[in-house]
Amino acid sequence: MELKAKLIQMLPLQTGEGRNGMWKKQDIIVETEGTYPKKVCISIWGDRVNPSVLVMDSMLNISFDLESREFNGRWYTDSRAWKIEPADGSIHSTPVAGAPVAGAPASQPQAPEAAPFTANEEGKDDLPF
């Protein structure tokens, strides 16, 4: 999903250490344009936090994913940014750190290859279709 909004607040940077190492999370509050502006909290994780793009009162184009999960009978929704760039184009197509850049070689580690498919002992797969 994409959103064009004005950065109105940056919450404190959160850091910690998990089983996969150090992590950091920056929550920002943006306000949409229009007759009925809405405030939205967007989370930026890891090396995607780019302070040079996060300038107070600037308009941003934000590409993000929404995800909901259930915990103890209640549902919680996260909005995670995967690319943020200035709406005015002052920094030409600068994605959030860690996001792929068109024409640039991929610098992210490759996922391990999946194990080859093996059929069950009857020679047929388990798929229902």
Domains along the chain with CATH numbers: 2-86 (2.40.50.140)
- Sequence length of the chain is 129
pTM here?
A: 0.66
Q: How far apart are CA 25 and CA 72, in angstroms?
A: 24
Grade residue 41 by pLDDT with cuts at 50, 70 and 90.
very high
Asked which of 17-21, 74-78, 87-91 is least confident by mean pLDDT, the reply is 87-91
pLDDT reading at 125 higher than 60: no
Q: How confident is the model at residue 124 (pLDDT cuts 50, 70, 90)?
A: low
CB-side neighbour CA atoms (13 Å) of 77: 7
For residues 38 and 32, is the Cβ–Cβ distance under 8 A? yes
Terminal CA-to-CA distance of the chain, rounded, Å?
Answer: 32
pLDDT (tens digit per residue) in 55-81: 999 999 999 999 999 999 999 999 999
